[in-house]
Structure 1
Amino acid sequence: MKQFKTLSFGLFAICLFLSSNLMAQKRDIYELKTYHIETPAQEAMLDSYLEKAFIPAAHRHGVDKVGVFKPIASQPDAGQKVYVFIPFKSLDEFEAFEGKLLKDQTYLKDGDSYINAAFDNPPYKRIETAILRGMSEHPKFASSKLTNDKKDRVYELRSYEGPTERLYRQKVKMFNSGEMDIFERLNCSPIFYAETIAGANMPNLMYMTTHENMEIRNEHWKQFGVDPAWAAMKDLEEYKNTVSRNDTRLLYPTNYSDL
């Protein structure tokens, strides 16, 4: 009987371990690409490629939605950057994606002017890439719940950098333990919350919320600052000094963006 109990406990532990791993695997993987551009011609070439070649190919190869965003006019980098958000179900899917594109003859044809651009007429200055994993309490991306015209919306992309890995993990814990709930309650319509697993500004987390317009965006942050739940958690000892830099980007979605 004792041996049977030991065996049963061992099987339970294995099942629990496998279950935990399965849950971890269900967290989305995101690729966030930032194209740095210098001219309207580069922007036009990139728009054409993304709309007519890349996004249709992504849909063909299992990526349901691709987000494409640009800085709003008031931002200092307006006209200089294009953000492309690509959600994958797993790292394996992410790793296989480029190979699928390179075998897709329709993609190669539709994207020819971008793919085979001359060295002295490139479609961008450079590309930055961050690989992200959805947070445990918000493991999947979501389309915005907003219904107003895309051109009027403000999409807010934030990166919170931590001074150390330990303090960064505490900020992630803060998000998973209630901070995300405040955004949800205030109808900030989040697209994603994620931990950066490869990128230029680690350790950092990133997230994107959406607002009908700038006035409502500002009102949301005003409400966030006085929210009772935020007041209760922001001064807790375990969450002090968890953010060394807040990088905020105010964006709008292109007319061909899925998100």
Structure 2
Amino acid sequence: MKRTTYLSALIFVFAFFLSANLFAQKRDIYELKTYHITSPAQEAMLDSYLEKAFIPAAHRLGIAKVGVFKPVSSQADAGQKVYVFIPFKSLDALAAFEEKLLKDQKYLTDGVAYVNAAFDNPPYKRIETSILQAMTGQPKFTESTLTGPKKDRIYELRSYEGPTERLYKQKVKMFNSGEMDIFTRLGFNAIFYAETIAGANMPNLVYLTTHENMEKRDANWKAFGADYKWVEMRDMEEYKNTVSKNDTRLLYPTDYSDF
């Protein structure tokens, strides 16, 4: 009888961890690429490639949405970077993507200027890549509900770096336990919230919110700072000193961006 009970307990524990693992696998995986460019010519070449070759090929390969963003004119790196956001359903899908891309003959034809660029005329200076996993509080990306002109929108990309892994995890817990809900209630239109699993500045989390324009963005943050729930969470002992650096990028979407 005791042996039967013991085996039943083992099966229950195994099933619990298996189901937890399967649930975890349902969280999106994101690739966030930052192209560093040095001239308008590189920017034009990159825009043409992304719009006419890369994004259509990504759609053919099952990537429903690809986001392309650039720093607004007030940013110090305006004209120097292009951000590309690519959501995947799993790490396996991400790992297989490039090989599939290079087997797509239409992609190779449409993107020939980029793919076969000469060594002395490259379409970028460097590429910086981060691999992210969606947080449990929002396991899938969402589309912005904004309807105003893309040229006026502000997409705010933030990275919160933690001083230690433990404190970083507390900040992730803070997002999953209520901070996301505040953003939703105040109309921040978040595209994603994610943990960096490979990239620079770890440990850090990354999230992207959207606003109709700069005035609306400023008003949203003012409301957030005064929000009763945020003040309550901010002052909780377990969430103190969890962010050592806030890196904020103000971006706008290209006309051909899916987001």
After TM superposition, the score normalised by the length of structure 2 is 0.98
In the other structure, the counterpart of 2:225 is: 225
Where 1:128 maps in the other structure, the secondary structure is strand
After the TM superposition, which residues 218-257 of structure 1 pair with which residues of structure 2 at under 5 Å, given as runs?
Answer: 218-257=218-257
- Distance, in Å, in 2 between the alignment partners of 1:235 and 1:120 is 55
Does 1:196 pair with 2:206?
no
Q: CA deviation at 1:2?
A: 3.6
- Distance, in Å, in 2 between the alignment partners of 1:18 and 1:187 is 36
Q: For residues 52-78 of structure 1, what are the alpha-carbon distances to aligned partners after superposition, in whole Å with 9 as ceiling and x for unaligned?
A: 000011011111100000011111111
- Distance, in Å, in 1 between the alignment partners of 2:79 and 2:187 is 29
- Distance, in Å, in 2 between the alignment partners of 1:197 and 1:243 is 17
Q: Structure 1 runs of 4+ off > 6 angstroms?
A: none
- Distance, in Å, in 2 between the alignment partners of 1:93 and 1:60 is 14
Does 1:154 pair with 2:154?
yes
Give the counterpart letter for 2:220 in structure 1.
H
Flag structure 1 segments of 5+ consecutive residues without an equivalent: none
Where 1:73 maps in the other structure, the secondary structure is coil
- Distance, in Å, in 1 between the alignment partners of 2:23 and 2:161 is 26
Q: CA deviation at 1:235?
A: 1.5
Q: CA deviation at 1:148?
A: 1.3
Q: For residues 217-249 of structure 1, what are the alpha-carbon distances to aligned partners after superposition, in whole Å with 9 as ceiling and x for unaligned?
A: 000000000101111010211111111110000
- In angstroms, what is the RMSD of aligned CA positions? 0.9
- Distance, in Å, in 1 between the alignment partners of 2:238 and 2:9 is 35
Q: CA deviation at 1:23?
A: 0.6
Q: CA deviation at 1:18?
A: 1.0
In the other structure, the counterpart of 1:121 is: 121
Q: For residues 182-228 of structure 1, what are the alpha-carbon distances to aligned partners after superposition, in whole Å with 9 as ceiling and x for unaligned?
A: 00000111000000001111110000000011001000000000101
In the other structure, the counterpart of 1:18 is: 18
Where 2:84 maps in the other structure, the secondary structure is strand
Flag structure 2 segments of 5+ consecutive residues without an equivalent: none
Identical-pair percentage: 75
Give the counterpart letter for 1:28 in structure 2.
D
